[in-house]
Amino acid sequence: MSRIGVFVCHCGENISRTVDVERVAAEVGKLPGVAFSTDYKYMCSDPGQGLLKKAIREERLSHVVVAACSPRMHEKTFRKAVESAGLNPFLCEMANIREHCSWVHEDRDEATVKAIEIVGMMVERVKKNRVLPTITVPVTKRSLVIGGGIAGIQAALDIADAGHEVVLVEREPSIGGHMAQLSETFPTLDCSQCIMTPKMVDVANHPRIKLYTYAEIEHVEGYIGNFQVTVRRKARSVIEEKCTGCGVCMEKCPVRKIPNTFDRDLGMRPAIYVPFPQAVPNTPVIDRENCTKFKTGKCGVCQKVCGPGAVDYEQEDRLIVEPVGAIVVATGFDLYSIEEKPKGSSIKGYGEFGHGRIPDVIDGMTFERLASASGPTGGKIMRPSDGREPKQIVFIQCVGSRAREKGISYCSKICCMYTAKHTMLYHHKVHDGQAYVFFMDARTPGKSYDEFWRRSIEEEEAVYIRGMVSRLYQKGDKIVVMGSDISVGVQVEIEADMVVLATAVQPRKGADTLAQKLGISYDKYHFYSEAHAKLRPVECATAGIYLAGACQGPKDIPDTVSQASAAAAKVMTLFARDQLEREPIVARVRETGCVGCFYCKKVCPYGAVEEKEIRDRQGNLVKVVAYVNPGVCGGCGTCQATCPSKSVELDGYTDEQIVAMIESL
Amino acid sequence: MTQLIDTSIYTAVTEAIQGEARRILSEGSVSAVVGYAAARRKGSAQPVVITQADDSGKLIFSAACVNNLAVYLTKAKKDIPKNGKIGIVVKGCDLKALVGLMGESQLKREELYLIGVPCAGVLASTILPDTALTSGTIASKCRECGERLPQGCDYTPTVTPPITPVLEKKYAAEIARLEAMTPAERWAYWKEQFKKCIKCYACRQVCPFCFCEQCLCDRNKPQMVETTPRPAGNFAWHIVRAMHLAGRCAGCAECERVCPMDIPLNLLNRKMAKELKELYNHEAGFEVREKGPLAMYDEKDDQSFIK
Amino acid sequence: MHTEKEKHTFEPKIIAFVCTWCTYAGADLAGTSRMQYPANVRVLKFPCTGRIDPVFILKAFQQGADGVLVSGCHPGDCHYIAGNFHARRRFAAFRKLLEFVGVDLGRLQFSWVSAAEGGKWVEMVTGLTEQVRGMGPMQEFKELALEEQWSGSIDTPELQEAYDQI
Amino acid sequence: MTPKNALRYAYYPGCSLHASAGEYDLSTRELFKKLNIGLTEVPDWFCCGATPAHNVDELLSLSLCAKNLELAEQVEGDLAVACAACFSRLKTTQHILSESEFKRQQVEKAIDAPVPLNGNVKHLLDILARDLGLKRLGQAVTKPLSGLKVACYYGCLLTRPTDVPNLDCVEAPTIMEDVLQAVGAETVAWSHRLECCGANFTLSRPGVVVQLSHAILDSAKAAGADCIMVACPLCHGNLDIRQKEIEGVYGTHYAMPVFYITQLVGLAAGLKADKLGLDALIVNPMPLLKEKQLI
């Protein structure tokens, strides 16, 4: 028989003004199973909690109901108090007679009757409460960082500097990401590679960072503190341990005219290559699609000239399993392409800009490569079509961004600033040139940002035209830009030598596939969703997975680096403990009843349900049942409502508890 | 006007089933075949499990072969030899149940050998087995049948496809009649129907989808559904059952056939099927689906009923 | 300002099933904002609308509820990613079933009330209470609960007498 | 007798085709007859309201189109529309009314009839390119338009507005080029295919029209076109009728015939000049057609 203690709080006068607390205590005291019932001015105060603890000990109480404010307010307080008096904290429930009763009703009689019923309901519920042990899970203090751009690099360095091992996985042959492609950076115009490459070298030399380049995530299993990640190391055809990075193979490779994607196809590279001279690691990779050896079987020059014998044509993809406790996702962005989109894509291209078929219409990243001292033109601005220096250049902002008719309604955040930077770089290099910018608004929130933008107009003579461009077309060797200037309300036409499009920032292609492997959610554009837009901006709803950089939404470099360090800090917080504790509100499977229809697995938003084989002593399969991994379960209970035989039950919200409440009414 | 329905192919079908059963049993590719055999009363049929090739001659197919044999692969499967594949004779309607069971991890396609039966219809449960199949004696479910030739079976006899005249859809008509009533009239209708229930649970026993080892309605901690055959308990039982079958039941109507009190149980199931078709364009039993309509969602689902 | 409270002859019993993250918090907000609403509602807290089994609704009616309110997070706001989406389908089907067996859907209300919508909570509770008050008591399940079922009818005086004594 | 699966349409000519664009109407009817496509004029049809109505009174403009859609229900088949403005308005009306329950109720009250929202509204181009198909269209050609360089002019209405499901890609359509290539003509790549001719201002601010249409003619000429092809009577009016005026204002000389799509396709299908209303064109096409030996 339960010995339930009921404690009715006056909350000063907040409750007792409308609810007759003494009558509540008296009435509830008559309920079967209630051994003790009292009222007190402030239950949450020290003396109030003391009263509670004393009663538990002296009255040998088995369960406790505190009738007071909302459990969202003080449930933790009272459960702690109950625990310190030697009871399991989950044997304590709160009856909300303040927010749900005394504060919302005026009639004292009505409110008192309602309070009695609410407390009675919780008394019936608490009778069915069970002792719930706190769940602890061990923490593997290693972290995985996906993506080797500035976000991934920063997060990896921070975590490794804090003393934890990091596995950094990058899809391309080198780390560096988009930042390595940039020429100079706003708002200080320092050279991107100058500030980036030292960090890349730090990664390569860090004793606690394990770097996998030319590698992808194959498969992720497990949960916070205990992930098992399978990494696919794609066949590089060059043995990294042997290669000294001397570069002879690249010099001797007979295939030389392959457009280099790092240079936005403006420069050429051989079939065995590193994407750029400062690549980390400085180990080449063979592009098997274009290599003569792989295409025809003949050649083999690189292998012959390689001193250390690092070239291996037989190399195959390797799968490596890495146990980690936390994951930082930093997969970055792609740029919107104005080319015609395949049928079925919800995002459209730009027919009015020629669908990418006018050669001197380029995007911002291509301009970065043109302006970069280490780029294909050595930093000289030239037209891709004929190599001439453009004297009239038009920049168009918001291409794809804020363009609902193209399927994207968000602002890409960085374009206003980098276009301003482009006009400056252009003016520094082409003194007699004129830059025009078509823009909707200039969005320059950030330290020294607006000053920078003003400078591009006031000192660097860029002409800003507020309006949109309706069409671009080739006319002789010029590109006619048809646009509007809405400040004066006229149509304008500019015959430009080159047009630079500030195209929208989009998540990486395949971001959705990776999200499905990781079990994290994403929005309709495939940007990854944070757990809370304001208060948990670097965590995913899936515990143990954190976000850094533009994979979560468009970001500039300072924001990306800040978020990366924040994600690293979250990982360190997690790693500060050896074991994780979590509220034991998780689902459990009653294996005797389970028939293995796996409806629970189908509806589980967390992927917490696994299939478990039950075998007899001879090892014969008896049946396959569901198993809920308590480390992964979020505790929503959707499984239980869906289970036809109710063979899975959510602790803390069992059918027994709920039916007891309904039956009490 | 009563129309005679041509069942002449059943003779050829019977021979074909026998031949195929003999072949697969003697080859050893299956360990047992679940099918129909003649029963004691003239013209009647009953389910049978044969394990010997020599017993193949027992198998028949006729308009009296009403049972949905799928049920023998779930609850009763413990009695059927476990090693190896099992052959089973399936009509189009039975196949839909098997397909549903595969989607719910209860059966594996590779463990079954499906002998599909071209079916012109079977007799209603109220008709004596030796009666000719006509538009008057045909089972209600066959009136709305769209799967006379089961698809995707391992073996289907090559016979002229059965031609059944278009008949009035009784369930659809009855649902429309009930829908036109006021809530109070509907309540009165179902109250009378459920009052009859004696809680024999034959509906549950015969249903391929009631495969739970312990039914929710038999649990007493907590007692979610009253077990006594009082109207309150009966009402709850039938509502819970209809809800559990929603999106899964493909309409074999076995529950209705075995009900000793003649409660129109399939009507509830057909109503739910109709609603899920309208809401989510879902029809049970046509393909093996990983998720049924109530185990998935679309962010754009209708929510006009939610304030 | 205290208006004279109207006395009604019938006070309906309303049972509300709500999720803890949105609607329960919204109801708390109504309290902290000192909004007023009828005292007829009893709130049962669930982690998520995804946990709410249709059987509970049935049980509530059988237990004498005159109206049932089910409320959770707006689509996209679910603390558990997708629990409310599953609930939405489940209840869309269940209400059709209840309607088909003759339950007046005026007694069963679904709503999305967020943690910030204290006003909406008040509106939902007040609206349903008034609506159900207008419809009168939910007699159907109560009458059902009173009826007995025998293998035969009570057709002899002895049986009737024995029955009456129960 | 027409075969069972023959194409049949309800036909909505629109006001222009019964007035200034009579040759468009004539050539359409003759071409469709030649191609064995049935056309039945919608009884009692009236103006769609383009282009003034939707600028001044939305309910009126929606109701005009809705009523026409409702009238078209009397005739079997999808609704065939020749004029780009009518086409755009009818499609837009369907779109707006299917998106807004409120507006639909208003309109249904106004016209006192239900609006058929699911009826297919098709431009002639769509019928030729997709329903009939380019292959069958090619087979009907008896006199290929070889050597004729055509600038296909879509104008602004044929593929717009953007959010209404429509004929082809909004900014880079190819359907006109596809049709003309199928009948053997050569199409030029040019810049002003989708620019506005200024039709809205034809009467109120002709100066604007002259400026805009000039740019179009100029661009077509620069691209090396012999002639322009249109599928809209308003575009035709501005490019053909006003051509002399434009030449006068800008001191240029184009002599650029402007054909309707049905005229050029009709020519390829072997129809004679009188059946195509070629004499109704202001810029005389005969010298060009003779030069290319097409007549």
Task: Report pLDDT digits (tens) over A47-90.
Answer: 999 999 999 999 999 999 999 999 988 999 999 999 999 999 99
Give the confidence band of A583 by pLDDT, cuts at 50, 70, 90: confident
- Could you tell me if A469 and A364 lie in one domain? yes
> Which residues fall within 8 angstroms of residue D153, CB to CB, at 6 or more apart?
D176, D192, D193, D216, D220, D228, D229, D230, D235, D239
- Structural domain contains residue A402: yes
- 8 Å CB contact of A351 and D172: yes
* Mean pLDDT along residues D234-258: 93
E strand intervals along chain D = 8-12, 38-41, 78-81, 121-123, 149-152, 186-187, 227-230, 258-260
| Residues of A with Cβ-Cβ distance to B104 under 8 angstroms | 597-599
- Could you tell me if B134 and B196 lie in one domain? no
- Could you tell me if D172 and D55 lie in one domain? no
Interface check B243 vs A, CB under 8 A: no
Token pair listed for C50: 């995804």
CB atoms under 10 Å from CB of D14, counted, come to: 28
Q: Which residue of C has its CA nearest to B238?
A: C101
- Structural domain contains residue B160: no
Token pair listed for A87: 């009871």
| Percentage of chain D lying above the pLDDT 90 cut | 76
- Structural domain contains residue D254: yes
CB A425 within 8 A of CB A371: yes
- Structural domain contains residue B1: no
Q: Which residue of A has its CA nearest to B217?
A: A645
A interface toward B at CB cutoff 8 Å?
592-599, 602-603, 624, 642, 644-647, 655-656, 659-660
Identity of residue D245:
E
- Structural domain contains residue D216: yes
- Could you tell me if B109 and B186 lie in one domain? no
Q: Which of residues A127, A162, A183 is at a domain's end? A: A127
Integer Cα distance of A281 and B297 in angstroms: 46
Give the confidence band of A222 by pLDDT, cuts at 50, 70, 90: confident
Neighbour-count burial of B195, counting CB atoms closer than 10 A to its CB (0-12 exposed, 13-18 middle, 19+ buried): middle
- Structural domain contains residue A81: yes
> Which residues fall within 8 angstroms of residue A585, CB to CB, at 6 or more apart?
A132, A635, A650, A651, A652, A653, C47
Integer Cα distance of A45 and A78 in angstroms: 10
> Which residues fall within 8 angstroms of residue B164, CB to CB, at 6 or more apart?
B5, B120, B121, B142, B145, B148
pLDDT tens column, A264-279: 999 999 999 999 999 9
Q: Distance between alpha carbon D247 and the CA centroid of its chain, in Å?
A: 25
Residue A167 Cα distances to A247, A273, A576, B19, angstroms: 27, 24, 18, 63
The pLDDT score that the predictor gives to residue C151 is 47
What are chain B's partners, defined as 3 or more CB pairs within 8 angstroms? A, C
- Could you tell me if B125 and B18 lie in one domain? yes
Structurally, chain B folds into a number of domains equal to 2
pLDDT tens column, C84-115: 999 999 999 999 999 999 999 999 999 999 98
Question: Among partner residues C2, C56, C87, which is closest to A658 by beta-carbon distance?
Answer: C56
- Could you tell me if B232 and B287 lie in one domain? yes
Q: Where are the alpha helices (DSSP H) in A227-339?
A: 248-252, 292-296, 301-305
The angle formed by the CA atoms of residues C9, C15 and C16, to the nearest 5 degrees, is 135
pLDDT value at B231 more than 80: yes
Which residue bears the tokens 């085709």? D17
Question: Among partner residues C32, C42, C83, which is closest to A636 by beta-carbon distance?
Answer: C83
Structurally, chain A folds into a number of domains equal to 3
- 8 Å CB contact of C30 and A104: yes
Question: Strand pairing of C67-72 and C108-112?
Answer: parallel
- 8 Å CB contact of C97 and B305: no
* Mean pLDDT along residues D93-109: 92
- Structural domain contains residue B4: no
The pLDDT score that the predictor gives to residue C149 is 57
Q: A475 is in which domain, residue-wise?
A: 335-505
- Structural domain contains residue D1: no
- Could you tell me if A489 and A620 lie in one domain? no
| Residues of B with Cβ-Cβ distance to A130 under 8 angstroms | none
Integer Cα distance of C30 and A261 in angstroms: 58
Integer Cα distance of D107 and D109 in angstroms: 5
Integer Cα distance of A371 and D155 in angstroms: 39
- Structural domain contains residue D35: yes
- 8 Å CB contact of B271 and C62: no
Residue A466, phi then psi, degrees to nearest 5? -80, 110
- Structural domain contains residue D133: no
Strand partners, A485: A490
CA distance A393 to chain B (A): 45
Task: Determine if the peptide bond prior to D287 is cis (ω within 30°).
Answer: no
Interface check B212 vs C, CB under 8 A: no
Interface check A609 vs C, CB under 8 A: no
Q: Which of residues B100, B127, B143 is at a domain's end? A: B143
Q: B44 is in which domain, residue-wise?
A: 9-143
Q: Of D246, D226, D236, which Cα lies nearest the Cα of D292?
A: D226
- Structural domain contains residue B40: yes
Give the confidence band of D1 by pLDDT, cuts at 50, 70, 90: very low
Q: Which residue of C has its CA nearest to A603?
A: C86
pLDDT tens column, D236-247: 999 999 999 999
pLDDT tens column, D3-48: 556 789 999 999 999 988 999 999 999 999 999 999 999 999 999 9
Interface check D161 vs A, CB under 8 A: no
CA distance D27 to chain A (A): 31
- 8 Å CB contact of A474 and D191: yes
Residue A247 Cα distances to A172, A244, A519, B178, angstroms: 18, 8, 41, 83
**CATH number of the domain that D47 lies in?**
1.20.1050.140
Mean of the per-residue pLDDT values of chain A: 94
Interface check A490 vs C, CB under 8 A: no
| Residues of D with Cβ-Cβ distance to A340 under 8 angstroms | 169, 172
> Which residues fall within 8 angstroms of residue B61, CB to CB, at 6 or more apart?
B10, B13, B14, B17, B36, B89, B117
CB A271 within 8 A of CB A258: yes
- Percentages of chain C per state (helix, strand, coil), in multiples of 5: 45, 15, 40
- Structural domain contains residue A322: no
- Structural domain contains residue B89: yes
* Mean pLDDT along residues A380-393: 96
The angle formed by the CA atoms of residues C140, C144 and C148, to the nearest 5 degrees, is 165
Q: D149 is in which domain, residue-wise?
A: 141-291
Chain A residues 521-550 with CB within 8 Å of chain C:
521, 541
Strand partners, A445: none
Token pair listed for A212: 């996998």
Question: Can you tell me the ipTM of this complex?
Answer: 0.65
- 8 Å CB contact of C25 and A71: no
- 8 Å CB contact of B224 and A656: no
- Could you tell me if D176 and D36 lie in one domain? no
- Structural domain contains residue D131: no
Interface test with C, best of A11, A18, A99, A516 (most C CBs within 10 A): A99
What are chain D's partners, defined as 3 or more CB pairs within 8 angstroms? A
| Residues of A with Cβ-Cβ distance to C22 under 8 angstroms | none
- Could you tell me if A482 and A596 lie in one domain? no
Interface check D170 vs A, CB under 8 A: yes
Integer Cα distance of B165 and B142 in angstroms: 11
Interface test with B, best of A594, A602, A647 (most B CBs within 10 A): A602
Q: Distance between alpha carbon A24 and the CA centroid of its chain, in Å?
A: 50
- Could you tell me if A474 and A622 lie in one domain? no
Integer Cα distance of A484 and B143 in angstroms: 67
- Structural domain contains residue B37: yes
Q: Which residue of C has its CA nearest to B188?
A: C102
CB A589 within 8 A of CB A647: yes
Token pair listed for B18: 């026998």
**CATH number of the domain that A593 lies in?**
3.30.70.20
Interface test with A, best of B107, B111, B216, B299 (most A CBs within 10 A): B216
Interface check D222 vs A, CB under 8 A: yes
Structurally, chain D folds into a number of domains equal to 2
- Structural domain contains residue B55: yes
- Could you tell me if A369 and A485 lie in one domain? yes
CA distance A99 to chain C (A): 4
Integer Cα distance of A118 and A122 in angstroms: 6
Q: Of B225, B163, D269, D32, which Cα lies nearest the Cα of C53?
A: B225
- Could you tell me if B176 and B285 lie in one domain? yes
Question: Among partner residues B211, B212, B291, which is closest to A602 by beta-carbon distance?
Answer: B291
pLDDT tens column, A388-442: 999 999 999 999 999 988 889 999 999 999 999 999 999 999 999 999 999 999 9
Question: Among partner residues A340, A405, A473, which is closest to D191 by beta-carbon distance?
Answer: A473
Size of interface A-D (CB pairs under 8 A): 23
| Residues of C with Cβ-Cβ distance to A652 under 8 angstroms | 47
The 3-state DSSP class for residue D186 equals strand
Strand partners, A7: A38, A66
pLDDT value at D112 more than 80: yes
Size of interface A-C (CB pairs under 8 A): 128
The angle formed by the CA atoms of residues D75, D78 and D82, to the nearest 5 degrees, is 100
Task: Kindly report which listed range (A543-547, B157-161, C41-45, C64-68) carries the lowest average pLDDT score.
Answer: B157-161
Integer Cα distance of A588 and A655 in angstroms: 13
The pLDDT score that the predictor gives to residue B161 is 81
Task: Kindly report which listed range (B20-34, B211-225, C62-76) carries the lowest average pLDDT score.
Answer: B211-225
Interface check B192 vs C, CB under 8 A: no
- 8 Å CB contact of A70 and C44: no
Q: Of C95, C64, C131, C99, which Cα lies nearest the Cα of B184?
A: C99
The pLDDT score that the predictor gives to residue B79 is 59
What are chain A's partners, defined as 3 or more CB pairs within 8 angstroms? B, C, D
- Structural domain contains residue B159: no
- Structural domain contains residue D134: no
| Residues of C with Cβ-Cβ distance to A636 under 8 angstroms | 47-48, 50-51, 78-80, 83
- 8 Å CB contact of A645 and B213: yes
- Could you tell me if A598 and A459 lie in one domain? no
- 8 Å CB contact of B247 and C55: no
Strand partners, A374: none
- 8 Å CB contact of A352 and D162: no
> Which residues fall within 8 angstroms of residue B201, CB to CB, at 6 or more apart?
none
- Could you tell me if A14 and A119 lie in one domain? yes
- Could you tell me if A122 and A15 lie in one domain? yes
Enumerate domains of chain C plus CATH numbers: 14-137 (3.40.50)
- Could you tell me if B194 and B244 lie in one domain? yes
Residue B257 Cα distances to A127, B64, B141, B263, angstroms: 44, 13, 10, 9
| Residues of C with Cβ-Cβ distance to B188 under 8 angstroms | 102
- Structural domain contains residue A537: no
Q: Which of residues A458, A476, A505 is at a domain's end? A: A505
Q: What is the DSSP letter of D262?
A: H
Q: Which residue of A has its CA nearest to C31?
A: A99
Question: Are chains A and D in contact at 3+ CB pairs closer than 8 Å?
Answer: yes
> Which residues fall within 8 angstroms of residue A255, CB to CB, at 6 or more apart?
A270, A271, A290, A291, A292
- Could you tell me if D146 and D190 lie in one domain? yes
- Could you tell me if A476 and A363 lie in one domain? yes
- Could you tell me if A485 and A609 lie in one domain? no
- Could you tell me if D90 and D231 lie in one domain? no
pLDDT value at C140 more than 70: yes
The angle formed by the CA atoms of residues B75, B78 and B84, to the nearest 5 degrees, is 115
- Could you tell me if B214 and B258 lie in one domain? yes
- Could you tell me if D12 and D119 lie in one domain? yes
Strand partners, B47: B36
pLDDT value at C152 more than 70: no
Q: Of B4, B5, B251, which Cα lies nearest the Cα of B140?
A: B251
- Could you tell me if D219 and D247 lie in one domain? yes
CB atoms under 10 Å from CB of C160, counted, come to: 11
- Could you tell me if D275 and D170 lie in one domain? yes
Q: Where are the alpha helices (DSSP H) in A333-405?
A: 364-371
CB C71 within 8 A of CB C115: no
Question: Among partner residues B190, B191, B297, which is closest to C88 by beta-carbon distance?
Answer: B297
Token pair listed for B267: 């009507």
The pLDDT score that the predictor gives to residue C1 is 43
- Could you tell me if D64 and D105 lie in one domain? yes
Give the confidence band of C82 by pLDDT, cuts at 50, 70, 90: confident
Strand partners, B36: B47
- 8 Å CB contact of C81 and A638: no
**CATH number of the domain that A388 lies in?**
3.50.50.60
- Could you tell me if D271 and D150 lie in one domain? yes
**CATH number of the domain that D260 lies in?**
3.40.50.11810
Mean of the per-residue pLDDT values of chain B: 90
| Residues of C with Cβ-Cβ distance to B275 under 8 angstroms | 93, 96-97
Size of interface B-C (CB pairs under 8 A): 116
Identity of residue B185:
E
| Percentage of chain C lying above the pLDDT 90 cut | 68
End-to-end, the C-alpha distance of chain B in Å comes to 51
- Structural domain contains residue A298: no
